[in-house]
């Protein structure tokens, strides 16, 4: 899914972006160095299925260890 936003302003280390008439704040490090007010930007959001599954397994293992430790 690709979303289009407009850089509303830059406040210190944060970039304030308007997306679908809502305002969001992002760390400036996520943007190219030359980002500026009024820039039209795009975000490509995707679910990383393999990474998600790996993380779920890791969290299940941590929970199991915690439960075993307290039993």
Q: What is the mean pLDDT of each run of 10 residues along the chain (71 residues)?
A: 92 97 96 97 93 97 91 77
Paired residues of 24 in beta bridges: 17
* DSSP secondary structure, 3-43, as one string: EEEEEEEEETTEEEEEETTEEEEEEGGGS-TT--TT-EEEE
pLDDT attached to residue 64: 94
pLDDT attached to residue 43: 87
Which CATH number belongs to the domain containing residue 9 in this structure?
2.40.50
Tally the domains of the chain: 1
Cβ-contact 40, 9 below 8 angstroms: no
Prediction pTM value: 0.70
pLDDT attached to residue 3: 85
Provide the residue range defining the domain that includes 36. Answer: 2-69
């Amino acid at each position: 899914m690709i979303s289009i936003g407009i850089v509303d302003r830059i406040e210190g280390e944060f970039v304030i972006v308007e997306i679908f008439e809502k305002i969001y704040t992002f760390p400036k490090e996520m943007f190219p160095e030359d980002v500026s007010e009024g820039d039209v930007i795009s975000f490509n959001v995707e679910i990383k299925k393999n990474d998600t599954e790996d993380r779920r397994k890791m969290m299940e293992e941590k929970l199991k260890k915690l439960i075993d430790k307290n039993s």
